[in-house]
Amino acid sequence: MSEDRKKDTPEQAEFRAYCKDWLASHVQEAPPVRLPQSAIEIMHTPQMDYLRKWQGEAYAAGLIGCDYPVAEGGGGRTGCQLIANQEMQAANKPFLPNILGLGMAAPTIHIHGKQGIREKLLPRLFSCEDVWCQGFSEPGAGSDLANVQTFAEKKGDKWVINGHKVWTSLAHFADWMILLLRTDKTDKYDGLSYFVVPIKSELGKSVEVRPLIKITGETGFNEVFFDNLEVSEDYLLEDLGKGWQVAQTTLLHERGAGPFVTPSSGGATSGGSGAKEGLHVGGAHSLINLAKSSARNGRTAADDPVIRDKIMEMIIRQEGSKQGARRGRVEGLCDHPMRIPLQSKLVMSEIRQDAGALAMEIEGAASSLYINDDNAPAGGEWPLAYMNSYGVTIAAGTSEIQRNILGERVLGMAKSK
Ligand SMILES: Cc1cc2nc3c(=O)[nH]c(=O)nc-3n(C[C@H](O)[C@H](O)[C@H](O)COP(=O)(O)OP(=O)(O)OC[C@H]3O[C@@H](n4cnc5c(N)ncnc54)[C@H](O)[C@@H]3O)c2cc1C
């Protein structure tokens, strides 16, 4: 019996058994097209349709939104989302596409949204009838997020939004956006406000979404331009000028440190359940298979003692990090709630990069063969994973910023200039 199962309360044990049964009997159709490696690389409508259907089915079965109130479309349970996540992963189910909605928008709306708004928005988010994206970053506001310049001005009973967001993952499918805006130009932090904004209905009118093409050839993220987008005051979360505080809830969940365990826990873009196990989460076991099937000096790469040593080192690092992350669930063990999630995001994203680099070494010259090339080892997935792994040390706060936060806020060291 796993450590997690041993800790289940009777209610949780019953829920786990239910999840297992449902997942075992659920018929998962084969995808009609190749799926990307994670939700933030969904490019094509058939990919999204397939994954949306899966999320809808999982929600209808009670495996999503488990710990949210029933009135908001949740399951009204306690500590059950983690169980559903573990069982979905064990059953080797596809990732959930509405990762930014589940990972960041849902907890933020639940904690800060007005009554009526929560009940209206959350059920459709859980079922993936509405896809969500996160409009935080701008050309001049990434690490320095409080420098956001996209502006909302009050005109009559509406807020009118103008400006430009960038790196907005999934905006090309999104119905709604969580949006950090400036409502006062005189105060950096207290001049920020937080809105939830319907964007799909305004596409081609006051909202323009321009996909950005990555080095991989994929278009997972976008630029989003607002030209006099009108939004109702109902969609303001908390009071005017409280945007920075609301954004902290979103960022805590994005970094896997919030009170709500969501299917993207571990950081929506940090290789949590939004990614294919094996390739993204360090991929140690896949590396073994790759080494066994890669030719080297008349034998296989797995016969090379240097490669064997490097793979073992990768497995030890990955396992060490996994076990380290478990400490976060032991009450009272960690003095700071951010310590383990930030450490995990930092370490796991760097392991992913190193695992990708090792895969390139194992493949040798064949690493230049890519997706859609019949001769590519492992279907060409490793070169793609390697290139995408660089985004993971940037998204949800760069490794440098994670180190700054760990140093300053967790360890209490002097602030960087
Ligand atoms: C795959 C991917 C998906 C993303 N999805 C989204 C999304 O959906 N929505 C969204 O809003 N944003 C998204 N982002 C944007 C992401 O949050 C930003 O890229 C990130 O916060 C860094 O900001 P920046 O790109 O402006 O870099 P900058 O902030 O300009 O940083 C440039 C470099 O300077 C370093 N640096 C900056 N300040 C410091 C400091 N104080 N100390 C030390 N080093 C520093 C950084 O570490 C980095 O190496 C995504 C990014 C990626 C890669």
Top mutation candidate among 108, 166, 173, 394 for ligand 1, by most atoms within 8 Å of CB = 394
The rounded Å distance from CA 407 to ligand 1 centre is 18
pLDDT for res 279: 46
Does the beta carbon of 221 lie inside 6 Å of ligand 1? yes
Does the beta carbon of 405 lie inside 6 Å of ligand 1? no
Distance CA 103, CA 98 (A): 8
Owner of token pair 């680099």: 357
The rounded Å distance from CA 191 to ligand 1 centre is 21
Going by alpha carbons, the residue nearest to atom 1 of ligand 1 is 391
Q: Which domains does the chain have, with CATH numbers?
A: 3-129 (1.10.540.10), 133-246 (2.40.110.10), 278-410 (1.20.140.10)
The rounded Å distance from CA 396 to ligand 1 centre is 7
Going by alpha carbons, the residue nearest to atom 50 of ligand 1 is 395
CA dihedral 10, 15, 16, 20 (to 10 degrees): 140
pLDDT for res 280: 43
Does the beta carbon of 349 lie inside 6 Å of ligand 1? no
Contact 172, 207 (CB under 8 A): no
Going by alpha carbons, the residue nearest to atom 7 of ligand 1 is 168
pTM over 0.85: yes
398: left (phi over 0), alpha (psi -120 to 50) or beta: beta
- Of the candidates 102, 128, 122, the residue with the CA atom closest to the CA atom of residue 267: 102
Contact 177, 226 (CB under 8 A): no
pLDDT for res 270: 33
pLDDT for res 271: 35
The rounded Å distance from CA 150 to ligand 1 centre is 17
pLDDT for res 160: 98
Going by alpha carbons, the residue nearest to atom 3 of ligand 1 is 395
Does the beta carbon of 251 lie inside 6 Å of ligand 1? no
User: For the chain (length 417 residues), average pLDDT per consecutive 10?
Assistant: 73 97 97 92 96 98 97 96 93 94 97 97 98 98 98 97 98 98 98 98 97 94 98 97 97 85 46 43 68 93 96 90 80 79 90 93 95 91 92 93 93 84
The rounded Å distance from CA 399 to ligand 1 centre is 9
Does the beta carbon of 168 lie inside 6 Å of ligand 1? yes
The rounded Å distance from CA 394 to ligand 1 centre is 5
The rounded Å distance from CA 398 to ligand 1 centre is 6
pLDDT for res 306: 96
